[in-house]
Structure 1
Amino acid sequence: MKFGCHTSIREGYLGAAMQAFRMNAAAFQYFPKNPKSLAVKNFSHEDAMQCKAFCEEKSLMSVSHSPYPTSLTPQNKKKRELVIRSLLNDLDIAEACGSIGVVVHFGKQISHTDPIASYQLVIDMLNEILQRWDGNAKLLLENNAGLPGAIGTTLEELVQIRKLCTYHEKIGFCFDTCHAFSCGLWDGDNWDSVLSKGMELDYFGALKLIHFNNSKYETRVGKDRHAPIFGPGYITEDQFDQLVQTPQLANIPFILETPKEEMPHQKEIELLQKKWGNASGW
């Protein structure tokens, strides 16, 4: 069972891994540097190698999440260069830590008159970054939240962008359950349809990570507000059960990004393992 959560690098990358291990998690996510900055970090390679060794010893999986200002649709040349340098730095850190890759949000609409412009910019950004990257860590495109019809909310978009990139083998996917619920991609009752479409598109072949989050708002409202898996969120346990029991998701880590002030992650992981530790999908 590969349930985990986001952990802090305040005590280094090894410290983040040890924190996850103490919570009995099987996986963890971390920010490779200051989550509010695109500044390149001169990181400790020794700390990163110790993190990798610890994860291998304890059978922990890890993944990195790019800082909040990261965008695959930057508005100007200066921001573009900052994002490219930052993501290459993130990939370096993820590689040194032995992580699956770096999660990056899909991007935003940049033109109301030319809907293709945003997609073309995403492809150009991915190609420019990945032509300079030779490691095993992947860039993991995350599905967007938003109202139905917003950019980056469908499996078709994600798959097509990856397919059109020159370095598609260096790209994977991260599926966020709250984001999918927000836009109606997964409304809680149509998992069979999502699964069928994902199989048809070969989306699951490149899926490397699930952000496992409930939603504080109803489906198709377009709001990205996470809630604990167990509690007053709008996605029910039975609806989550359909997803967790899916064999195509076997061995993919489920990472909580739920508000820990509402339920401590250690407690939530304990409840997840108690309910779904023997799920057939795993």
Structure 2
Amino acid sequence: MTPNSGIGAHVSTKGGFVQAAKRAHAQGATAFQYFPKNPRSLSLKALDAIDARQCRDYCMEYGLASIAHSPYPTNPALGMSRGEAGYHAVIASIRNDLEIADACGSVGTVVHFGHMKSDDPLVGYQHIIQTLDMVLEQWDGKAKVLLENQAGDHGPMGTTMEEMVQIRKLCSHPEHIAFCFDTCHAFASGMWSEGEEQAMLEKGRKLGYWDALAAVHFNDSKYASGSCKDRHARIGAGRIGSDGMKALLASPEFGKAVVVMETETGKDGTHREDIALMRSWQ
């Protein structure tokens, strides 16, 4: 099996970004995910250059990879449908996340595909392209927008690999866009069912989806395939199951990605147990 770019989980940034890196390292992780700012707001956060540099240096010293996760209100599919102020707030927020992620030495910032209700479904896709083009205009950092697939709980937008590939292709700066594949979201949306992992992986190869994969949210699903319910379970404890999660982790596509869990912690309040389990599968 190809060694992963990193295995870990989402961690708190209490005390700063370097403290997040130290928390990840303390539980045996070689990767972690963090919120660059308040996850419930699009309000911008001033970059603490010293903290970010300390985080980057610590990660280099201990071999840690990291990804940021943009706030939950980030919805590039809305465009100006809810007003110009909201549109520019999303653009500024994603750019702010990219700048923080870049300063911390992170691979990029995860951005949900987004959703909107419209009589013309193409409108939402046009909004996503326009928003990402504005975000990435004149962006010269190494951190990328990591476009994440969705579970279908807000509708069918963003639930297929075809959409991801096409949106990236149509954007003006595809070199600054990569993918974050959420296993729970993909399973819940009906992208594959139990035991069909290899067929799903092969489909992604044919589409070229995995060529742009940079990160994985490694979450089991509390609900069945096609449920469209975004409810994460600890790895091996959900409907994907241990065999399915093992098959995914063993794939060469996942092997090149930063793999992080967004699941419940163990009894000790950390993901140490699940990280050790994942390592036993390698």
**1:191 & 1:230 partners in 2: Cα distance?**
14
- Equivalent residue in structure 2 for 1:123, among 120, 129, 135: 129
Q: Which residue of 2 aligns with 1:163?
A: 169
Give distance in 2, aligned partners of 1:50 and 1:118: 39
1:90: how far off? 0.5
CA distance in structure 2 between the aligned counterparts of 1:63 and 1:72, rounded to whole angstroms: 19
1:261 positional shift: 6.3
Query: Structure 1, residues 193-218: CA drift from partner, whole Å, max 9, x if none?
Result: 22222111211111000100011111
Q: CA deviation at 1:76?
A: 2.3
TM-score (norm 1): 0.93
Question: Tell me, what secondary structure is at the counterpart of 1:89?
Answer: helix
- In structure 1, the partner of 2:261 is 256
- TM-fit CA distance, 1:149: 7.1
Return the alpha-carbon distance in structure 1 between the equivalents of residues 132 and 207 of structure 2.
20
SS, match of residue 77 in structure 2: coil
- 1:13-52 superposed matches below 5 A: 13-52=17-56
Q: 1:56 aligns with which of 48, 60, 63?
A: 60
Q: CA RMSD in A?
A: 1.6
Contact 1:148 1:183 in 2 (8 A): no
Q: Which amino acid aligns with 1:230?
A: G
Alignment length (residue pairs): 274
Secondary structure of the residue that 1:73 maps to in structure 2? helix
Distance 2:177 2:192 in 1: 23
Give the whole-Å Cα distance in 2 for the aligned partners of 1:103 and 1:147: 18
Describe the superposition over 1:86-140 as per-residue Cα deviations: whole angstroms up to 9, x where unpaired.
11110000000000000000010330x1111010110000101111421110000
**Matches of 1:148 and 1:14 in 2, distance apart?**
35
Cα distance in 2 for partners of 1:261, 1:33 equals 25
Is the aligned partner of 1:235 residue 2:240? yes
Distance 1:170 1:164 in 2: 13
Unaligned ranges ≥5, structure 1: none
* CA distance, structure 2, for counterparts of residue 109 and residue 37 of structure 1: 19
Deviation by residue 1:3-34 (Cα, 9 ceiling, x = unmatched): 20011111101000011000110100000011
Q: Which whole-Å CA distance do the structure 2 matches of 1:253 and 1:180 have between them?
A: 17
Task: Please tell me whether residue 92 in structure 1 is matched to residue 81 in structure 2.
Answer: no
Cα displacement string for residues 25-46 of structure 1 (whole angstroms, at most 9, x for unaligned residues): 0100000011111111112101
Higher relative contact order (CA 8 A, sep 6+): 2
How many Å apart are 1:148 and its aligned residue?
A: 11
CA distance in 1, matches of 2:13, 2:70: 13
> How far off its partner does 1:248 sit?
2.4
Question: 1:148 and 1:202, CA in 2 relative to 1: closer, same or farther beyond 3 A?
Answer: farther
Which moved further from structure 2: 259-268 or 211-220? 259-268
Quickly say closer, same or farther: Cα 1:73–1:148, change in 2 above 3 A.
closer
Letter matched to residue 37 of structure 2: K
Taking structure 2 as the reference length, what is the TM-score of the superposition? 0.93
Q: Residue 106 of structure 1 corresponds to which residue in structure 2?
A: 113
Match of 1:179 in 2: 185
> Contact conserved, 1:64 with 1:102, CA < 8 A, in 2?
yes
